């Protein structure tokens, strides 16, 4: 997959645009800045925005080309990021080191999906927030009608609300919904699609998930 993403990000155009995801931007408005992790961050649009409003941002992606584009955007906007290239297994993020994790279209292979989300739980401080938007399993029907909406074609890579309840069991859910949206994010997220959105808070010490 690294070769696929290097090719996608290899040109000069920002293929998902340079503006932050709308849901991510709106969700940050109610949070005080702290430390944030953005997995599968691509060309940096969300990381750069978060840094611009005071967050200390770490991000990663498997694509060198993604980091190159992110670095250019960060320089243009006058912000600094800790952007690393590699997979989650490769990167030495410390346990409980983030106040928030933004999972914005962070679709992982089915074999890694559950384990990765368990790791994200371990990286989040007690009381920290998960901000999540990704394509629902139901988006496959939208993709058939409009290939420009994008998203994985493998149902197991997509998400359901029940999966997220399981991955983040014990969290306080402020929002968990499946919603039809119209995306205008570059050339690969364009049109009407079906997404899952979640805002959730990690329990504080003493919960059954903190072991």
The per-residue pLDDT for range 75-91, each reduced to its tens digit, is 999 999 999 999 999 99
Instruction: Render pLDDT for 183-205 as a digit per residue (tens, 0 to 9).
Output: 999 999 999 999 999 999 999 96
Domain ranges for the chain, please list them.
2-201
pLDDT at 139 > cutoff 90: yes
> What is the CATH superfamily name and number for domain 2-201?
Vaccinia Virus protein VP39 (3.40.50.150)
Assess contact for 201 and 29: CB atoms under 8 A. no
Token reading at 52:
């611009």
């Amino acid at each position: 997959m690294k070769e696929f993403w290097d090719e996608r990000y290899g040109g000069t155009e920002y293929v998902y645009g340079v503006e932050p995801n709308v849901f991510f931007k709106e969700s940050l408005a109610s949070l005080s800045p702290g430390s944030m992790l953005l997995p599968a961050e691509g060309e940096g649009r969300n990381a750069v925005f978060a840094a611009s409003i005071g967050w200390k941002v770490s991000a990663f992606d498997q694509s060198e080309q993604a980091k190159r584009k992110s670095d250019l955007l960060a320089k243009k906007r006058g912000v600094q990021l800790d952007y690393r290239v590699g997979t989650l297994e490769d990167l030495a993020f410390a346990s409980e080191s983030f106040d928030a994790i933004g999972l914005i279209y962070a679709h992982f292979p089915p074999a890694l999906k559950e384990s990765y989300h368990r790791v994200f739980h371990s990286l989040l401080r007690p009381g920290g927030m998960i901000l999540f938007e990704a394509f629902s399993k139901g988006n496959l029907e939208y993709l058939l009608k409009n290939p420009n909406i994008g998203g994985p074609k493998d149902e197991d890579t997509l998400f359901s609300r029940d999966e997220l309840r399981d991955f983040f069991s014990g969290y306080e859910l402020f929002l968990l919904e499946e919603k039809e949206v119209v995306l205008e994010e570059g050339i690969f997220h364009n049109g009407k699609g079906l997404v899952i959105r979640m805002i959730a808070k990690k329990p504080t010490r003493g919960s059954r998930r903190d072991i």
